[in-house]
Homo-oligomer: A and B are copies of this chain.
Amino acid sequence: MKAELISVGTELLLGHTIDTDAAYASRELAAAGVDVLRRFTVGDNPARLEETLRLALSQSDLVILIGGLGPTKDDLTKEIAAAVCGRQLVPHEESRRRIEEYFKGRPLGETQWKQAMLPEGCDVLENNRGTAPGCVFSAPNGSLVALLPGPPSECEPMIRDQLMPYLHRFCGGAIASLMVRTFGIGEGSAAERAADFLEMQNPTVAPYAKESEMFFRVTAKAASEQEAREQCAAVARRLCGRLGSFVYDVNGDGTSQSCLENTVVRLLTEQGKTIAAAESCTGGLIAKRLTDVPGASAVLNMSFVTYSNEAKRRLLGVPEELLERYGAVSEEAARAMAEGVRRAAGSSLGLGVTGIAGPDGGTPEKPVGLVWIALSDGEETWVRRLSAPARFQPREKIRFRAASTALDMARRRLSGLPAEEKPV
């Protein structure tokens, strides 16, 4: 099956929005064995959208249009696609009901109903995260046309949970995939360790780097789903052996989201332990990531953002003299924060993070990007130091990597691994 993608939206052509949907769809299609020949990006311009859709239809078995299904006047994807394929737009009752429920009680503008108009005879892809449903229908030449909403929070689950199973009926056979997730090993080192895996044909192993992590997606095609799953599992096991303690998770979740926090919450829950953090430069990001995980309340009772020295002293009992002698960004301060927050929260593990996230506040001795991270379990305190040339590290990345490193230290402690492994 050959596919082309059309991303629709003037905000894309103006560069205000980066097109992550098209990349996501491309990955899912590639994993399912569908070749993406070409992608197009067009604005909210009816004539150009029509011309592009006709071109794509003439060359491929599947054309996926993403965006332009919303309530506003410049959302025209459905109208154009229906016209090109000679279909009327008709009201879809279930979608009307969903829109009503979504806005329950609030007054509803006429524009909202437009979202419940769908091409006659289409198969509907439900939108569980928003009001614009997706749909699939065939063009006069027999090619399939799929329409998907633009917001990634709606588009990605619709691709994963609805479009891909729908397409599997057309692709023949079954497919399964597993994601092997690592932290702490660079893209180059990981790819070297896994070099022979990346050459495999079926299952395939595809690497990708995300934030400070590195994932490998193992995908197998087979006659039955179970067979595909077994082939995946066997390759994933061998790959994990190669990647060692850097692997923090293996699962079937197709998202590329980081989930170090899921692993930490799971390990804490299994072991009946709790955690608390004292965050300076990460400013709540560690607590936020832990509480992103449903059920985090069983393992986190409280956590602290201690930006000022006063907060470190008063809430964590970090001695004034220590802060004066070594400074708030120091190994000693991180250690005292981790030990202090563990006592203050009465938790099994305590994390302390202090550093310079920038863009200001760096000095030659303590440059932007320097972060100290400590983990205390009441018996021992581990400390790690991060640094990086500032020009490669915007504030957001410094903070994210520091939070990930803290979470990974907790994972390693809870798994009985050494605090740190050096990638060779």
Contacts and interface: CB of A to CB of B under 8 A. Distances in A.
Interface in A89-118: 101-102, 104, 107-109, 111-112
Given A13-B39, A15-B24, A206-B14, A285 B284 contact: yes
Interface stretch (A221-229, A302-310, A318-326, A378-386): A302-310
A284 B351 CA distance: 15
Interface string A36-67: 11111111010010001001000000000000
B109 A188 contact: yes
User: How many copies make up the complex?
Assistant: 2
B16 A18 contact: no
Interface stretch (A236-244, A388-396, A407-415): A388-396
A15 to B, nearest CB: 3
A254 B294 contact: no
Contacts of A12: 23, 26, 39
A296 B396 CA distance: 13
Contact of A394 (B25, B129, B283): B129
A36 B48 CA distance: 12
A22 interface: yes
A79 interface: no
A144 to B, nearest CB: 19
Contacts of A359: 294
Contacts of A290: 283
Nearest to A303: B305
A23 B23 CA distance: 13
B70 A16 contact: no
A191 B71 contact: yes
A26 B13 contact: yes
Given A288-B284, A301-B307, A38 B48 contact: yes
Interface residues of A, number: 107
A297 interface: yes
Contact of A16 (B43, B189, B208): B208
B16 A206 contact: yes
Contacts of A303: 283-284, 304-305, 307
Nearest to A37: B48
Contacts of A307: 291, 296-297, 300-303
A15 B26 contact: yes
A267 to B, nearest CB: 18
A254 B387 CA distance: 30
B311 A301 contact: yes
A16 B10 contact: no
Contact of A389 (B14, B71, B102, B286): B102
A187 interface: yes
Contact of A14 (B10, B26, B195): B26
Interface in A71-95: 71-74
A286 B284 contact: yes
Nearest to A360: B294
A192 B109 CA distance: 8
23 contacts: A11-B206, A14-B26, A14-B30, A14-B254, A15-B23, A15-B24, A16-B208, A19-B19, A19-B23, A22-B41, A38-B52, A40-B41, A73-B195, A74-B198, A104-B389, A111-B191, A112-B188, A129-B392, A129-B397, A284-B288, A294-B358, A294-B360, A301-B307
Interface of A: 9-20, 22-30, 36-43, 45, 48, 52, 55, 70-74, 101-102, 104, 107-109, 111-112, 128-130, 151, 153, 187-189, 191-192, 195, 198, 206-209, 217, 254-256, 279, 281-288, 290-292, 294-297, 300-308, 310-311, 315, 345, 358-360, 389, 391-392, 394-397, 399, 424
Given A18-B19, A108-B188, 12 more contacts: A9-B208, A15-B24, A15-B28, A38-B41, A71-B187, A71-B191, A73-B195, A102-B392, A283-B291, A292-B399, A294-B360, A305-B305
